[in-house]
Structure 1
Amino acid sequence: MRINCLFISCLLTLAACSSDTEKRLPILGEREPVEKTVDGKTVVDTIYQTIPAFSFINQDSSVVTEKNFEGRIFVADFFFTSCTSICPIMHRNMLKVYEKFKDNKEVGILSHTIDFKYDTPSKLKSYAEKLGITGDQWQFVKGTKDSVYTLAEKNYLVAVAEDKAAPDGFVHQGWFILVDKDKRLRGAYDGTKKEAVDQLITDMEILLEEYDEK
């Protein structure tokens, strides 16, 4: 978890510098240079880390996959409904994102529960209703422990774990991860801090403009 914290902190610094100076967000995560032939010439292209295919059940007991986010940028996070530490703060802040981009078809929010036993679809539904969430723009999803935990740590670079010594039985990081329409990581923000969430909103607008320019 300490390694992930350091890694994400470095990404945050890079993202802040890039968005301030170039008005274009960096592409985060692992990357691999590959050679290909274009018009008879060998050129080097870059393959970036992306969010893979997934399938979860949401608060309405419907299947949600990566296809639900086609043509959208989205913000992902990890939480659980009985959390008494950072989750309430995170989702009060995420409400600002929801309200800012409400009904924008190019924007989605994807919250993964890490409590694979307790957080049934009905629990997620009650949680969403308490937040005042309607429609399908903000999805609250559950999956198996392996599917969610692996996705968090390998693809979103967010540490999550069961921990009987923790007050609520789980520990996790409060990052909001910004993903572009090509499923690439474009930013990481501390969901417990107002100024970081304000930066997220600014960066989402920058990212939408990037696609408008294409």
Structure 2
Amino acid sequence: MKFYYLSAGFLFLFALTACNLKEEKKLPVLGNRETVEKTIDGKTVTDTIYQTIPSFSFINQDSAAITNKDFDGKIYVADFFFTTCPSICPVMHRNMLKVYDKFKDNPQVMIASHTIDYKHDTPAVLKEYATKLGVSGKQWQFLRGGRDSVYTLAEKHYLVAVNEDKSAPGGYIHQGWFVLIDKEKRLRGAYDGTQPDQVEQMISDMETLLKEYQHDKK
């Protein structure tokens, strides 16, 4: 199964992140934004409010509740999948393993894989899936939630299209995006998780983002 439906907005975001950003000191902030005016010390200044990932609460592969607060102070990569996916998911997560291995045990980095098969992918199923991948510990979270909460989070906030489709292999269709989120819960990159060169670019961008925070501390 290959699902190529892309929103016009995300095509634009992909075009931005597909470029070589190594020469940039900072990654762009993606997603919707709103310009607001504020009065500070009697002066009117313009500020930008960026789209952020909202509060959420899901159950992980260890049957533990995981919320957005578990990602506080960390950058992370999010994706959407299902364990019985017969096509792109195995490719995506083989590529995500490169990210896991690269940043393993780095306390500033996490991965959040959201299942879109809320019927089949119980915590026990997710645990077995994680074990087969060779994933342990808390750095890579496999998360399960209700249909509406997961699908809304995917489409409105991560800008990833997902849906049930009985005619599709496995019964679901979804995009293979890996979405990079910063410590402020803002979108900083979008990458095709089925393409090794895009995953390598994401790894490079993650290093850039981590350096950005190190620089801000100085």
TM-score between both structures, scaled by the size of structure 1: 0.97
Match of 1:114 in 2: 116
Residues 84-132 of structure 1: per-residue CA shift (max 9 Å, x gap): 1000000000000000000000000000000000000000000000000
| 8 Å CA contact 2:17, 2:191 repeated in 1 | no
Q: Equivalent residues in 2 for 1:104-183 (5 A)?
A: 104-183=106-185
In 2, distance between residues paired with 1:128 and 1:151? Answer: 22
> Identity rate of aligned residues, in percent?
66
Q: Equivalent residues in 2 for 1:1-214 (5 A)?
A: 2-4=5-7, 6-17=8-19, 19-214=21-216
| 8 Å CA contact 1:18, 1:24 repeated in 2 | no
Kindly report the root-mean-square deviation, in angstroms, between the aligned alpha carbons of the 2 structures.
Answer: 1.2
| 8 Å CA contact 2:6, 2:161 repeated in 1 | no
Residues 35-72 of structure 1: per-residue CA shift (max 9 Å, x gap): 11122110000000000000000000000000110100
**Poorly superposed stretches of 4+, deviation over 4 Å:** none
Question: Relative to structure 2, which stretch is displaced further, 6-15 or 43-52?
Answer: 6-15
TM-score between both structures, scaled by the size of structure 2: 0.95
| 8 Å CA contact 1:27, 1:185 repeated in 2 | yes
Q: Following TM superposition, by how much is the alpha carbon of 1:10 offset from its aligned partner in structure 2, in angstroms?
A: 1.7
In 1, distance between residues paired with 2:206 and 2:107? Answer: 13
In 1, distance between residues paired with 2:126 and 2:5? Answer: 29
| 8 Å CA contact 2:18, 2:198 repeated in 1 | no
| 8 Å CA contact 1:31, 1:49 repeated in 2 | yes
In 1, distance between residues paired with 2:19 and 2:41? Answer: 36
- Structure 2 gap ranges (5+): none
- Structure 1 gap ranges (5+): none
Q: SS of the residue aligned with 1:84?
A: coil
How many residues matched?
213
| 8 Å CA contact 2:5, 2:175 repeated in 1 | no
